């Protein structure tokens, strides 16, 4: 048996299990009540026919004149679509998505048909998600406020400790033992100060207070200088640090201090997680319109499960082997790189196989263009 299309339309009109079809005259009075209309709103056809469509609208929408506006829009544009709260007979509110179509016959407007479906569950999911996002945003604000206070208090406490270490070192009669103690104290205070600086930067970024002061400089030359600064730390662990940069300048327009933080944190991580007598490389090259910095090591590597979250705040695989730190260094690297419009990624083939961090920063277009012109 072949179902006639017109007959199919009538059967859909009468039997649709989840879509309500409401027919209105030109003034918005209900003249027919079909499909899932009764199940959706609770009114029988005899109860609702002859009443205005306004009865289905919530009080605040009626006060705004939205039922009349919907009719006007449909007449003007042939269709009016909306998602809004509607009222059932029992007073319950349901979230309905609807489409009101203005019907024409021989060029005359003869009425409307409105198709509606209950989407209350979807609306509840949306509101739940919105509430969760709002709560998450509030939690982040509370976290930033807490860490801001923490940084302030710890810095206040480190000041006297730093001064005490200096006083001990300045005393000529200090014993070897006290000198060693002062050296340990000084190094640990310096470490804590750097950790506080990193944490403060993360808080600034989270609060939208990070400001970049961009200047033009030669990235290759600065990498060599920074590597020379951290060389002493690598030497203490009998590590080999190799610097490979182009012989010509690599011009970038960036916040020099922030770029130094990026490079220092990556080198510091490599030194920290590479065993004694291991090897570390820092390379710089140019790929199209980006300067690329790569820091590679023969260290302990990264657990594959941590790779997707390695740049998240407070991520640490083994805090006891970290040599101190909160796990904010790589998060800060990511934030600073992104703030410059760059990209950062990590590659690791597994535990014990070392790792490679790559940072891409936009070149200084004007300076690189001038350099290319000079070479030609």
Q: Which are the contacts of 123, defined by CB distance < 8 A and separation ≥ 6?
A: 95
Query: Taking each helix axis from N to C terminus, what angle separates 256-272 and 176-206, rounded to the nearest 10 degrees?
Result: 120
Prediction pTM value: 0.52
Q: Is the pLDDT assigned to residue 249 strictly greater than 50?
A: yes
Exposure pattern of 166-193 as b/e (b: 16+ CB <10 Å)?
A: eebeeeeeeeeeeeeebeebbeebeebb
Asked if 197 contacts 152 with a C-beta cutoff of 8 angstroms, the reply is no
Phi, psi (5° rounding) for residue 313? -60, 135
SS (H, E, C) 310-373: CCCCCCCCCHHHCCCCCCCHHHHHHHHHHHCCCEEEEECCCCCCCEEEEEEEEECHHHHHHHHH
Task: Output the pLDDT for position 373.
Answer: 35
| Cα–Cα distance measured from residue 254 to residue 250, given in angstroms and rounded to the nearest whole number | 12
Task: Output the pLDDT for position 364.
Answer: 83
Q: Which range is least confidently modeled, 71-75, 203-207, 300-304?
A: 203-207
pLDDT digits (tens, 9 = 90+) for 222-240: 999 999 989 989 999 999 9
Q: Nearest to residue 114, comparing CAs of 37, 55, 39?
A: 37
Question: Hunting for tokens 């004007």 — which residue is that?
Answer: 366
Q: Which are the contacts of 221, defined by CB distance < 8 A and separation ≥ 6?
A: 245, 249
Domain 211-376 has CATH 3.90.79.10: no
Domain 5-118 has CATH 1.20.1250.20: no
pLDDT digits (tens, 9 = 90+) for 151-176: 666 766 677 777 777 776 666 555 66
Q: Which residues pair with 218 in a beta bridge?
A: 251
């Amino acid at each position: 048996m072949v179902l006639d299309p017109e007959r199919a339309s009538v059967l859909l009109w009468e039997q649709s299990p989840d879509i309500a079809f409401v027919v209105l005259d030109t003034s918005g009075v209900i003249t027919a009540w079909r499909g899932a209309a009764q199940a959706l709103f609770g009114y029988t056809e005899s109860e609702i026919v002859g009443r205005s469509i306004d009865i289905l609208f919530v009080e605040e929408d009626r006060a705004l004149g939205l039922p009349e506006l919907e009719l006007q829009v449909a007449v003007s544009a042939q269709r009016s679509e909306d998602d809004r709260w509607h009222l059932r007979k029992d007073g319950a509110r349901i979230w309905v998505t609807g489409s009101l179509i203005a019907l024409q016959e021989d060029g005359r407007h003869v009425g409307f048909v409105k198709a509606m479906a209950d989407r209350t569950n979807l609306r509840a999911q949306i509101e739940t998600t919105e509430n969760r996002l709002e709560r998450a945003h509030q939690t982040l604000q509370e976290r930033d406020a807490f860490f801001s206070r923490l940084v302030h208090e710890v810095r206040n406490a480190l000041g006297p400790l730093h001064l005490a270490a200096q006083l001990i070192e300045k005393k000529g009669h200090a014993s070897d033992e006290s000198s060693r103690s002062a050296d340990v104290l000084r190094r640990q205070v310096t470490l804590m100060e750097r950790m506080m600086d990193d944490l403060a930067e993360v808080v600034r970024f989270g609060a939208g207070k990070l400001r970049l002061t961009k200047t033009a400089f030669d990235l290759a030359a600065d990498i060599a200088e920074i590597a020379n600064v951290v060389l002493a730390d690598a030497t203490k662990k009998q590590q080999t640090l190799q610097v490979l940069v182009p012989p010509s300048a690599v011009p970038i327009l960036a916040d020099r201090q922030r770029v130094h933080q990026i490079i220092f944190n990556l080198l510091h991580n490599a030194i920290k997680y590479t065993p004694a007598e291991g090897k570390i490389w820092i390379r710089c090259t140019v790929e199209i319109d980006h300067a690329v910095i790569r820091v590679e090591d023969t260290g302990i590597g990264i657990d594959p499960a941590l790779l997707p979250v390695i740049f998240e705040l407070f991520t640490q695989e083994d805090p006891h082997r970290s040599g101190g730190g909160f796990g904010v260094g790589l998060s800060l690297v990511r934030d600073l790189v992104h703030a410059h419009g760059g990209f950062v990624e990590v590659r690791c083939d597994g535990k014990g196989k070392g790792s490679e961090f790559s940072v891409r920063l936009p070149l200084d277009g004007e300076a690189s263009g001038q350099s290319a012109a000079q070479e030609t």
